[in-house]
Amino acid sequence: MVSRSLKNILKESFLMAIEAIRQNKLRSILTLLGISIGVFSVIGVMTAIRTLESSVQSGLNVFAANTFVIQKYPEIQFGHSDRKYRNRKNIDYDQYKKLKNRAKLPVLVSVSEGNSVRNVKYKDKTVKNYVELFGGDEGSIRIFKTYIGDGRNLAPDDIRYSRNVCILGMDVVDRLFPFEDPISKKIQINGLDYHVIGTAERKGEAFGQSQDNYIAIPITNYLQKFSNKWTTLSIHIEAISEQDYNKTRDE
Q: What is the pLDDT of residues 226-241, one digit of tens each?
A: 998 889 999 998 888 8
Q: Which of 97, 92, 52 is nearest to 71 (CA)?
A: 92
Residue at a domain's end among 11, 30, 60: 60
Residues 26 and 130 in one domain: no
Q: Is the pLDDT of residue 1 over 70?
A: no
- Please check whether residues 119 and 230 belong to one and the same domain: yes
Same domain, 144 and 216: yes
Question: Percentage of the chain surpassing pLDDT 70?
Answer: 75
My answer on whether 94 and 53 are in the same domain is no
Is the model's pLDDT at 9 over the cut of 70?
A: no
pLDDT at 70: 85
**pLDDT at position 155:** 96
Contact between 188 and 122 under an 8 Å Cβ cutoff? The reply is yes
Q: Show which of 60, 75, 103 is a domain's final residue.
A: 60
Cβ-contact 134, 189 below 8 angstroms? no
* 69-73, 74-78, 170-174, 181-185: segment of lowest average pLDDT: 74-78
Taking a C-beta distance cutoff of 8 angstroms, is the pair 214, 88 a contact? Answer: no
Q: Mark out the alpha helices in the chain (DSSP H runs).
A: 2-23, 25-60, 82-86, 93-102, 140-143, 156-160, 170-176, 219-225, 245-250
- Convert the pLDDT of each residue in 103-154 to its tens digit: 888 888 899 999 989 889 999 999 988 999 999 999 988 888 889 999 999 9
Burial label for 82, CB within 10 Å (0-12, 13-18, 19+), is exposed
Mean pLDDT of the region 195-214: 89
Q: Tell whether 87 and 44 lie within a shared domain.
A: no
The answer to whether 179 and 136 are in contact (CB under 8 A) is no
- The overall average pLDDT reported for the chain is 82
- Going by the DSSP 8-state scheme, the letter that residue 118 receives in this structure is -
pLDDT of residue 56: 47
pLDDT at res. 182: 97
The mean pLDDT value for 21-50 works out to 68
**pLDDT band for position 206 (50/70/90)?**
confident
Q: Is residue 76 located within the same domain as residue 48?
A: no
Q: What is the pLDDT of residue 64?
A: 55
Residue 77: what pLDDT? 63
Residues 6+ away with beta carbon under 8 Å from 2: none
For residue 221, what is the DSSP state? H
Containing domain of residue 192, as a range? 67-250
Judge if 168 and 52 occupy the same domain: no
Amino acid at 166: C
**pLDDT band at residue 30, thresholds of 50, 70 and 90?**
low
Same domain, yes or no: 135 and 241: yes
- Same domain? For 12 and 75 the reply is no
Question: Looking at the structure, do residues 99 and 165 belong to the same domain, yes or no?
Answer: yes
Instruction: Indicate the pTM of the whole model.
Output: 0.72
Number of domains the chain is built from: 2
What pLDDT was estimated at residue 93?
93
> Are 39 and 115 in a shared domain?
no
- 30 and 148, same structural domain? no
